[in-house]
Amino acid sequence: MTITLDTVREAQRLIEGAVSRTPFEHSRTLSRLCGAEIFLKLENLQYTASFKDRGALVKLLSLTDAQRGAGVVAASAGNHAQGVAYHAERLGIPATIVMPVHTPFTKVVRTRDFGATVVLHGEGVAEAKQHALELGQRGGLTFVHPYDDEKIIAGQGTVALEMLDKVPDLDALVVPVGGGGLIAGCAVAAKALRPQIRVFGVEASLFPSMDCALRGVAPAAGGPTIAEGIAVKEPGTLTLPIIRDLVERMLLVDEAALERAVQLIIEIEKTVAEGAGAASLAAVLANPDTFRGRRVGLVVSGGNIDSRLLASVLMRGLARDGRIARVRVEITDAPGTLARVAGLIAEAGGNIVEIYHQRLFADVPVKRADLDAVIETRDAAHLAEIMTRLRGAGLAVRQLGNTAADGP
């Protein structure tokens, strides 16, 4: 089998009615921020909250009756696991999913809820994959690869068919890249329908595996990333030549950019994207000259993000924007001083979220104290206004955190 527009269209026919045709919407606010016409393909709205539904179903539908009866096995830390488990249950196919031992509990529970047998094995996906292959050999199970399979690639390519069906005159597609199944399928379909379209891939800078492979250099991948969905150390052997032929170039984005993109999507579009799902927006924001004035389709590939991580990302975003800050005020340890500081902050329009009055463990004279206050503000300019008000009252104040010692 060779992956062509026809094979992607056949995949689209196979999944019709079983996989959502997700919205592809224009974002006026993100367009203004990016200086381009931005359209979002919301694959985070799939039933399992990821594009992985598409390829998993196409692969499972290709199995013989004997293969279906024996069952399938896959290795994944999240989205692929849920896509395979969900559609295997629908089709009555026994599924075993091998997940790394430190996979977040929520992802393990969701995969089990879809009817799969979950086996926890290995420190990472590579070890889980090896164990899955061994289980497959012992039990006669068909291994469902997350990206390096022509059926999988064709299924993922249906994303681009839907995008160009809705907006035929797109100038560019920006697609998150892990092993490359999604971008390979999308590139085949998009370039066949619109040869002049430019296709860009996005990787987390900590895992530039595809970029390294395209440049012929040794991969240097590793480290904690919010974009674990594309944290792949080895690109696919089937996907690499397709990407080399059809993709314009790879764009790398750092962790701060990924966090910012997750924050913007939830605040502006009111929809949740995981780190990998927000990578396409992060890349456009980081490369404005490349996309300025263009009509750009961004694939929001998934929305499976841990709730605690999402809460942390949003709070850190508020801190970066100056909408919440921790400041330290040096005060005299005398009655009424705390009330005076609180009054000055309130007069300036700030809202005190938390306050800590430190007398015993602060490195200040015994007659003085450190007052640490977490303040909610409108923006960075408003925070600077509050700091100016406090200093104008004769108080020594500085912002704490990852800013300069002097603060605003």
Task: Note the pLDDT of residue 232.
Answer: 87
Task: Note the pLDDT of residue 363.
Answer: 61
Work out the mean pLDDT of the chain and round it to a whole number. Answer: 92
User: Does residue 172 have a pLDDT over 90?
Assistant: yes
Nearest CA to 353 among 315, 391, 381, 392? 315
Domain spanning 5-46+157-303: CATH 3.40.50.1100: yes
Per-residue pLDDT reduced to its tens digit, 222-274: 788 899 889 888 889 999 999 999 999 999 999 999 999 999 999 999 999 99
Give catalytic residues, as residue numbers. 52, 301
**What are the phi and psi torsion angles at 153 (to 5°)?**
-60, -45
What is the rounded CA–CA span in Å between residue 181 and residue 148? 7
Write out the CATH class of domain 52-143.
alpha beta
Task: Note the pLDDT of residue 175.
Answer: 98
Per-residue pLDDT reduced to its tens digit, 29-39: 999 999 999 99
Q: What is residue 19's DSSP assignment?
A: B
Judge contact between 250 and 208, C-beta under 8 A: yes
Judge contact between 55 and 33, C-beta under 8 A: no
Per-residue pLDDT reduced to its tens digit, 180-190: 999 999 999 99
Task: Note the pLDDT of residue 404.
Answer: 38
Task: Note the pLDDT of residue 403.
Answer: 39
Beta bridge mates, 330: 370, 396
Per-residue pLDDT reduced to its tens digit, 283-315: 999 999 999 999 999 999 999 998 889 999 999
Judge contact between 97 and 122, C-beta under 8 A: no
Q: What is residue 173's DSSP assignment?
A: E
Where are the chain's structural domains? Answer: 5-46+157-303, 52-143, 321-400
Per-residue pLDDT reduced to its tens digit, 135-164: 999 999 999 999 999 999 999 999 999 999
Per-residue pLDDT reduced to its tens digit, 357-405: 776 555 656 567 888 889 999 988 999 999 999 999 988 899 987 533 3
- How many alpha carbons fall within 13 Å on the CB side of residue 1? 16
Task: Note the pLDDT of residue 359.
Answer: 63
In the sheet with 95-99, reading across from the earlier edge strand, the strands are 117-120, 95-99, 72-75, 142-143
The torsion angle over the Cα atoms of residues 281, 282, 287 and 290, rounded to 10 degrees, is -20
Nearest CA to 177 among 221, 211, 128, 224? 211
**What are the phi and psi torsion angles at 375 (to 5°)?**
-120, 135
What is the rounded CA–CA span in Å between residue 41 and residue 291? 17
Task: Note the pLDDT of residue 406.
Answer: 39
Nearest CA to 91 among 110, 68, 114? 68
What is the rounded CA–CA span in Å between residue 229 and residue 245? 24
Residues 6+ apart with CB under 8 A from 112: 118
Averaged pLDDT for residues 308-325: 89
Fold: same for 52-143 and 321-400? no
**What are the phi and psi torsion angles at 287 (to 5°)?**
-130, 60
- How many alpha carbons fall within 13 Å on the CB side of residue 116? 30
User: Does residue 18 have a pLDDT over 50?
Assistant: yes
pLDDT band for 215, please (50, 70, 90 cuts). very high
Averaged pLDDT for residues 314-322: 88
User: Does residue 356 have a pLDDT over 90?
Assistant: no
pLDDT band for 117, please (50, 70, 90 cuts). very high
Judge contact between 403 and 396, C-beta under 8 A: no
Show the tokens assigned to 224. 């904690």
End-to-end alpha-carbon separation of the chain, Å? 61
| Lowest mean pLDDT segment, chosen from 29-33, 198-202, 339-343, 356-360 | 356-360
* Beta strand segments in 179-229, E: 198-204
**What are the phi and psi torsion angles at 174 (to 5°)?**
-125, 120
Task: Note the pLDDT of residue 126.
Answer: 81
- How many alpha carbons fall within 13 Å on the CB side of residue 238? 19
pLDDT band for 407, please (50, 70, 90 cuts). very low
Q: Which CATH superfamily is domain 321-400 in?
A: ACT domain (3.30.70.260)
